[in-house]
Structure formats: C-alpha cells, structure tokens
Amino acid sequence: MHKILFPEATNDYIKIAATELAERGICEPILEESDMATAGQKVANGLADAMVAGVDYSSRDVILACRDQIGVAGQIDPFEKKTFSSLFVADFPDDRRYIISDGATCKNPTAEQLADIVILVNEAATKILDNTPRIAMLSFSTFGSGGKDSSMDKIAEAIKIVRMRRPEILIDGEMQLDAAVNERIGKKKAPKDSQVAGRANVLVTPDINSGNILYKSLEQFAGAKLAGPILLGFKRPVSDLSRGSTPEDIVFTTECLVKLI
C-alpha cells in the first residue's frame, strides 16, 4: 500500500480524511506535523511515496518545497528551468469526469510551456481517466472565429509543438468550452475530422486566470466534486490542496493522487 505524507497532521480535516483513507485501504497515511521543507525532504528520500498538503500551508510553500526539495522531473542542472504544472479532476453527478489544467501554477505560459503542460497532463490523464484523453485547448475563439489574437497564436504554436513531440496525443483547438464538450455544438463549430471537439475530457486553459476561474466555477456553480490541485512535473506526486478543502475533497484528491504513483 502506498504511503502518503500529510505534513499538516494537527488539522482536523486532515485527521478525518486520513482515518477514512486508511479504513478504505486507499493508502497508508503518515501524519506528521512539519514544515514544508522537511516534508519535501522526507518524500525525496523515499520515506513516503507522495505528499498531500496545502490546507494550512500556502501554494507558494508547497510548490517551493516540491521545486527545492523533491526536484523537477528531468532536471539535471539545479539552475535549469523546467516546466511544472497542475491539474484538477472534476466529477459531475451524471458521472462525467473532466480534467482541467493549468489553474494553479503557470501564470501565463509561453507556447513552449503550454506544450509542456499538455504533455504532462496527458500522461497523468491516461492514469486517472477510464478512457483515452482527448485534449481541447480552450479559448474565447473556435478555430479562428475570434479573428486575430496573440493568445490564439500561442495556442496554435503549442499544438504544433505537441504534435511534433507526441504525435499520438489527441489534441485540437483553439476552441470554446461549449464546442469542446457539447457534441452538437462541436459538430457545428469544428472541422468534421476533429477527434476532440464535442468529446473532450481534458480541458487546457491558456493561462492561470482562466484555469482557476473555470475549476472554481464548476465547483461553486455546477455541483462538481473537485480533486486538486495535483502538481505535475516533479519527481514525486504532490497535491497542493485548496485551503478551502473539506475532508471529502482531501479524500478524493488523495484517491486521484495515488493513481499517479
């Protein structure tokens, strides 16, 4: 059974969630009250397989511990810049599941960083989803309907990079949210040969503003159950919980996180 470190051990919600996780056999929770740097070192040293934090610590605290203690995947030189990202899992009452990226880490990604985000979230989505990831690059525009805009150019360049590096990834865009997830609208707005429009299950936003607003809107207005943020691109899986997380949120996030180990 995978060991998950919870460094905010005195938080009542963490205690409730850890009890349920242990009882259901989802993981072996390790509850220790420690600063984030120490917690990151323990995960890096293999004392736990992953970490769930962020109920009390800020996102900055958690992300810096991941970057400085656990390390960025694929990074050789400590001064080398590598992209890291995040995802959210949104479950709806009608059993639909969507993955959203990035609403927590990369504020205004370049085309190259956006391509990295796509590749990172695709790898994770193959483990979290029950079917093949179909990635929609979200925008205010659908396949040029918005005229000319630098954000659309960035998305087009990111798609080009992804298709060169990972041609097997199912990705399309730019497209509006309704064209991405509504089959009728997708057929009307998108090219007939699109394998994503109307059937997307992974939604990649152009910046952190739109990503953060999207996931919180789904939670607050649409009744979706949210897991995350789950950080991507580090050497070990880590979740940076929202400080508004409930015990149910913590359990759901941990369930998803375990699939990435």
Cβ contacts of 75 within 8 Å, gap of 6 or more: 82
Domain-wise residue ranges, the chain: 1-79+233-261, 83-226
Taking domain 1-79+233-261, whether its CATH number is 3.40.50.1860 is answered by no
175 with 143: CB under 8 angstroms?
yes
**pLDDT reported for residue 48:** 96
For domain 83-226, the CATH superfamily is Isocitrate/Isopropylmalate dehydrogenase-like (3.40.50.10750)
The whole-angstrom separation of Cα 115 and Cα 106 is: 12
**pLDDT reported for residue 73:** 86
DSSP H stretches of helix in the chain: 12-23, 36-44, 59-65, 111-128, 150-165, 177-181, 183-189, 208-221, 247-258
**pLDDT reported for residue 242:** 86
2 with 258: CB under 8 angstroms?
yes
The whole-angstrom separation of Cα 11 and Cα 14 is: 5
Phi-psi region of 150 (alpha: psi -120 to 50; beta: other; left: phi over 0): alpha
What is the number of other CB atoms lying within 10 angstroms of the CB of residue 157? 15
- Identity of the residue numbered 57: Y
What string of pLDDT tens digits covers the 261 residues of the chain?
A: 999 999 999 999 999 999 999 999 999 999 999 999 999 999 999 999 999 999 999 999 999 999 999 988 875 455 455 789 999 999 999 999 999 999 888 899 999 999 999 999 999 999 999 999 999 999 999 998 888 899 999 999 999 999 999 999 999 999 999 999 999 999 999 888 899 999 999 999 999 999 999 999 998 998 899 998 999 999 999 999 988 899 999 999 999 999 999
pTM, 2 dp? 0.92
For 158-183, b where at least 16 C-beta lie within 10 A, e where not — what string?
bbebbeeeeeebbbbbbbbbebbbbe
